[in-house]
Amino acid sequence: MNDTGTDLIPAPRRIGHTLPGGGVGYVLDEDTEIDARPGTERVARWLRSTVGAATGLPLAPHRNSADRILLRIAPELAEGLGGPEAYRVVVDGSLVAIDGASEAGLFWGAQTFRQLLGPEAFRRAPVTARTEWELPAVLIEDAPRFAWRGAMLDVARHFLPKGDVLDYVDLLAAHKLNVLHLHLTDDQGWRLEIKRHPRLTEVGAWRARTKVGHRASPLWDERPHGGYYTQDDMREIVAYAAGRHITVVPEIDMPGHSQAAIAAYPELGNTDVIDTAALSVWDTWGVNPNVLAPTDTTLAFYEDVLTEVLEIFPSPFVHIGGDECPKDQWRASPTAQARIAEQGLADEDELQSWFVRHFDRWLTERGRRLVGWDEILEGGLAAGATVSSWRGYAGGIAAARAGHDVVMCPEQQVYLDHRQAVGDDEPVPIGFVRTLEDVYRFEPVPPELDAAQAGRVIGTQANIWTEVMESRQRVDYQTFPRLAAFAEVAWSRLPAPEARDFTAFERRMTGHYARLDALGVGYRSPGGPLPWQRRPGVLGRPIEGAPPIV
């Protein structure tokens, strides 16, 4: 029998094995039916497509069997447990009851039920002739700490095929993460079809070659690299994610990180400073000097882009980047200087703020909210903007104190491209060492904030930058198992970092590694990289010592 509840990740708020009046276990078998009450039909379909596929059981719609999985929407759980994503799972005798304060809460409860069944429930087809799945009596009540529990997947630096993105949606859902932030455009590639401007993908989606490793590396992959998602591809991803209660937040970078767009449409760049027609999609890494020109032509072009983005993504949030925008070309550009004078701006930082504010207003008028990296604070924060605090905590602290919403994702703590251990075996070692325990002890809300300001931290996010991740296998290695630790940080109400029981978390991870194995995830094992996961001779950029808290 599965040792129910001892290895659940993320850890639920309350779990008990003694039920009122006493309880006995439950056996899932071919007679088990799903009793889907109003509003629960999508979760019932998901259970059949996952648990049903893994067990080989029909899980038919309820007709007359006494054995059933009862699915219900119970709004009262929101008040009792805390919010619309709350759920309760009860396993007792002939019944498994899963209640959710909303459909989202019900879905998270169904994910917990799947974990209770054991690792085999995470396969896509049965692997044994087993016909009965035993569960002991249990009561679980749970609700998340944060509303925004995100992972950023960078598909601009290295393109991931649609199937891999769909798999990652399932992986996020299995960990109760509910935001997939897709980094769709950068200097190294434009990944989303825009019908008004087809050269963005005809030209901007492809680069001639790729730097291997850190930008100081002498190695090159001389194969062309690229790819993009058609609008129908992306609608499929968005719909697939929505069925798993995950919001896909698109990022269209501006005004920096834009060389791929300028290579496709040279008039978007600072043509009075450089020959933008000579630019190609960038083939290396780092901060690129070629930024968008602050012209009416550029504004209109990106309004066209965002018009199509809004048609594809129902997300209330749209990310516009706003990070790492060097101002040298603007300082040298008569056109940019004329715009500064015309708008009465103090300097180039305020020019960037003017650019961001334009799209903040544009998105607000269409019922959406702008999100940007913490550089959007420079020159004045755009009204209504939400800040992704990446350079540390400081940007998020400043934004929260100014009354703006914040997603905490400090590079020093939750950038999953950073290396996982010391030593030469770690593939392409980037940044600080961030172990599984380090991520588990990450705290998204800094103590400097008072209660009202802390309430502005709407969530947290782990970022998966792919400059040195050329394949799904590399993404898996860098992301897991650390994303499991992050998921618990984002979902569970944990003690202060120093008081967290990492030893107990490690014990629970033993069972979770078996789930990841069943899902086919090429994670980093506790013993270090396997031979085929290493990248000998590929230069990284390790940073020694503990990361600063900034």
The answer to whether the CB of 412 falls within 8 A of the CB of 432 is yes
What sign results for the dihedral spanned by CA atoms 332, 361, 403, 491? Answer: negative
33, 35, 142, 186: the active-site residue: 186
Contacts of residue 473, Cβ cutoff 8 Å, sequence gap at least 6: 522, 533
Residue 542 to residues 412, 433, 440, 504, Cα–Cα distance (Å): 12, 8, 21, 30
The answer to whether the CB of 550 falls within 8 A of the CB of 392 is yes
Contacts of residue 307, Cβ cutoff 8 Å, sequence gap at least 6: 196
Number of neighbours of residue 426 by Cβ within 10 angstroms = 21
Contacts of residue 300, Cβ cutoff 8 Å, sequence gap at least 6: none
| Interaxial angle between packed helices 231-242 and 296-312, expressed in degrees from 0 to 180 and rounded to the nearest 10 | 50
In angstroms, the CA 12 to CA 491 distance is 9
In angstroms, the CA 222 to CA 260 distance is 18
What sign results for the dihedral spanned by CA atoms 371, 375, 378, 379? Answer: negative
62, 257, 404, 418: the active-site residue: 257
In angstroms, the CA 392 to CA 379 distance is 19
What are the tokens at 439?
A: 């991520």
Give the CA dihedral 535, 540, 546, 550, nearest 10 degrees.
-130
Contacts of residue 198, Cβ cutoff 8 Å, sequence gap at least 6: none
List beta partners, residue 460.
149, 408
The answer to whether the CB of 288 falls within 8 A of the CB of 187 is yes
In angstroms, the CA 330 to CA 470 distance is 33
The answer to whether the CB of 396 falls within 8 A of the CB of 447 is no
- Known active-site residue 257: yes
What sign results for the dihedral spanned by CA atoms 534, 539, 541, 542? Answer: positive
Contacts of residue 219, Cβ cutoff 8 Å, sequence gap at least 6: 211, 212, 213, 537, 538, 539
SS3 assignment for 113-144: HHHHCCHHHHCCCCCCCCCCEEECCEEEEECC
67, 324, 347, 349: the active-site residue: 324
In angstroms, the CA 282 to CA 210 distance is 8
Give residue for tokens 């290695």: 477
Give residue for tokens 């001779």: 537
- Known active-site residue 450: no
Indicate which residues carry an active-site annotation.
186, 257, 324
